[in-house]
Amino acid sequence: MIRTLMLVPTGLGVGLTTAALGLFHAMDQQGIKVHFFKPIAQLHPGDSGPERSTQMLASSCKHPIAPPLEIRYIEGLLSEDRGDELLEEIVGRFEDYRPDDCDVVIIEGLVPTQSHYYSTRLNKAIASALDAEIVLVAAPGIDTPAELEDHIEITARAYGGIEHKRVLGCIVNKLGAPIDREGRTRPDASMDRTFTQSISAEQVREQSTLFSNDFRLLGTLPWTPGLSAPRALDIARYFDATIINEGAMVVRRVTRIAMMARSVANVIDELRPGTLVFAPGDRDDVVLATCLAALNGVEIAALVFTGGFTPAPSVMSLCEQAMRSGLPMMAISTGSWQTAITMQRFNQEVPLDDAERINKVKEEGALHIDHQWLQSFRSSDYVRRLSPPAFRYQLIERARRASKTIVLPEGNEPRTIKAAAICAERKIARCVLLGNPEEIRLIAQQSGVVLGEGVEVVDPNSVRRDYVAPMVELRKSKGMTDLIAEEQLQDHVVLGTMMLHQGTVDGLVSGAVHTTANTIRPALQLIKTAPGYSLVSSIFFMCLPDQVLVYGDCAINPDPNAEELAMIAIQSADSARAFGVEPRVAMISYSTLGSGTGADVDKVITATRIARERRPDLLIDGPLQYDAAVMENVAHSKAPGSTVAGKATVFIFPDLNTGNTTYKAVQRSANVISIGPMLQGMRKPVNDLSRGALVEDIVFTIALTAIQATQSG
């Protein structure tokens, strides 16, 4: 039976969309089949649409979301006393777009405003018409815990009160947010000491007398500075600015604001990563100081010339190198005073084209929803589909529980430094960065990265001698001497591998700037394969829109023979199961069950037979063409009766040429996230990165490695 949850706000500015995104993502991570429905579009002043919540969740929903009704159309029906007709239309849209295989539909209600005073009454009518349970969404503003509870309880009365069985509880948003005297959230609070913070999640939990098993505190969403950080591009749009230099405007984010009205000596401390610098166009000293900071690696969010004019051409010529470094520059017509006032009215809502920020809102919100409560929405007969959000969630949670230490030999690589900081902050793993400490800390500072408690910076020169004797002992049969060992240990990957061998760390991740061979060769020489394995192979976790598939081998073995291909299939199936993907193994070929002939097909046939004989507990079939393996309608005609065809989750490619080409084609053409390659068969976990890896890729590879360390340990 499908359950419907309606999110309704206790007032204005509670962050209803944020709560909806977080709850949706949390349910998706838990394997709950969730859909979204916003009956009525409620656009903000100056917003021409489309409706934000619907657009932000469109890509996350497996099925199309019903387009919301226009508010003017709604008001027309209400003014003509045609409320019943309105509700019938809303119910019709809900039923037309409701997926049959859904567990929960999240419904986002209207926000009560001066213009939409009827919102609470209409929310109640919609909830009744759709038989929805009520989840309140609140934000404290300047309220004390007792005052917050009063507002929640008053709103709950419109739906039967907190004792009513249909009123489930409340999500409290924007906890610990910087606020002004009127209770408005102000991300620029660092500029004004008169600003305070709203109450914290701890205060709500410890001082609450309202919440119980019948009316639950369903989520406590803290205010996070990064989630409110607009891009320089958003500032340019807001002011309708004239672009002087686009630079990195699309990716640089504003975390603080500096109105430059003082001398250079007194504003230097303001020139930090993420600062949006407002300066009159004739303040040549401030302009040049900002450019100098940019040339020194400080990622200034943007330099905005106020007053309607720009610096003289002679000054701008001195800024060319800073502009080439990515410093965005723009000009606006208002003076400093009016600019400051206008900036206070900046709409903090996430733009629809800011995918990075939308994903962060989803992820952060999902972390703070009561996961025990979510389990009640799981269908008893539901076979869980491991969706990409669920897979990533499991990775992070299992890595946290593993609590392992991972060495990163490429310690001075900017992406690696950022990934290490993220892993430390989210407690995914403790990371060891190998490299010159001063250089690493300088790169971190220039990138605006804080290397916290969970990141250890190790100078290779200070530890290298500790691993000379163990390496000589390990490789003495190969003629290893102290001199040769010390020379080879100059390579940070070799040093990191010895740290892993000796148990100083639990895993190794490299490859952001090194080749696969540079990463794997030391591991094969020093770590060696796990007991029972004679082969090292790799898999990618391919995060398709609605499920995670496993591809192997796409990175290591150029042309495995039948015996090796069978081993790759078994390794990949075991890895899939270890990470939550139920393995149904398809041995890929250009032939489906004998439709073609040739040596390449014979190899796959033999490999399938060997794998089945060694592991009769696994579902393995082949040879199968890719379409027969993945599409049920093709499988019915090409491989009827197959237990794998049409529903394969693990794809074993006959050679590296096929595997690598396929994974990259799927990844790039379908815009699919691929996590890996993850190496299989090593005695201790060593994992390679693509040299084009993003920070997020490195984070998830570190998480994979931490989990592998638990399995190998």
- For residue 384, what pLDDT is reported? 44
- For residue 379, what pLDDT is reported? 53
Give CA–CA dist 145/140, Å, rounded: 8
Parts of the chain with a pLDDT under 70: 1, 45-49, 182-184, 186-195, 378-387, 389-390, 546, 712-713
Sign, CA dihedral 202-205-209-215, equals positive
Burial class, 363, CB count within 10 angstroms (exposed 0-12 / middle 13-18 / buried 19+): buried
Q: Which helix (H) or strand (E) holds 430?
A: strand 430-434
Q: Give the N- to C-terminal CA distance of the chain in Å, as an integer.
A: 43
| Contact criterion met (CB below 8 Å) for 631 and 646 | yes
Q: Is the peptide bond before 50 cis (omega within 30 degrees of 0)?
A: yes
Contacts of 15 (CB under 8 A, 6+ apart): 137, 139, 173, 174, 221
Encode 489-532 in three state secondary structure.
CCCHHHHHHHHHHCCCCCEEEECCCCCHHHHHHHHHHHCCECCC
| Contact criterion met (CB below 8 Å) for 37 and 136 | no
| Contact criterion met (CB below 8 Å) for 239 and 347 | no
The structure tokens listed for 668 are: 């790039």
For the chain, how many residues are written? 713
- Strands 104-108 and 3-9, by their bridges, are parallel
Cα maximum dimension of the chain:
94
- For residue 390, what pLDDT is reported? 67
- For residue 23, what pLDDT is reported? 95
Domains and CATH numbers, the chain: 3-224 (3.40.50.300), 232-344 (3.40.1390.20), 399-526 (3.40.50.10950), 537-681 (3.40.50.10750)
DSSP states along 91-124: HHHHHHH--TT-SEEEEE-PPP-SS-TTHHHHHH
Q: 101 phi and psi, to 5 degrees?
A: -95, 30
Residue in the structure block whose two tokens are 């079939």: 621
| Contact criterion met (CB below 8 Å) for 65 and 36 | yes
Give CA–CA dist 286/390, Å, rounded: 48
DSSP states along 231-294: BHHHHHHHHTPEEEE-TTTTT-B-SEEEE--S-GGGTGGG--TTEEEEEETT-HHHHHHHHHHH
pTM for this entry? 0.68
Cα 331–Cα 187–Cα 138 angle in degrees, nearest 5: 135
Secondary structure of residue 586 in the 3-state scheme: strand
Q: Which of 318, 356, 325 shows the shortest CA–CA distance to 233?
A: 356
Burial class, 165, CB count within 10 angstroms (exposed 0-12 / middle 13-18 / buried 19+): exposed
- For residue 190, what pLDDT is reported? 45
DSSP states along 327-377: --EEE-SS-HHHHHHHHHT---SPPTT-HHHHHHHHHHHHHTB-HHHHGGG
Give CA–CA dist 387/29, Å, rounded: 7
Give CA–CA dist 30/393, Å, rounded: 8
User: Could you tell me if residue 135 is left (phi over 0), alpha (psi between -120 and 50 degrees) or otherwise beta?
Assistant: beta
- For residue 182, what pLDDT is reported? 67
Give CA–CA dist 74/95, Å, rounded: 19
User: Could you tell me if residue 314 is left (phi over 0), alpha (psi between -120 and 50 degrees) or otherwise beta?
Assistant: alpha
Query: How many Cα atoms occupy the beta-carbon half-sphere of 129 within 13 Å?
Result: 21
Q: 609 phi and psi, to 5 degrees?
A: -65, -45
Encode 394-409 in three state secondary structure.
HHHHHHHHHCCEEEEC
Backbone Cα Rg of the chain: 29
| Contact criterion met (CB below 8 Å) for 709 and 685 | yes
Contacts of 2 (CB under 8 A, 6+ apart): 98, 102, 103, 104, 105
Residue in the structure block whose two tokens are 């770590």: 527
Encode 213-241 in three state secondary structure.
CCCEEEEEEECCHHHHCCEHHHHHHHHCC
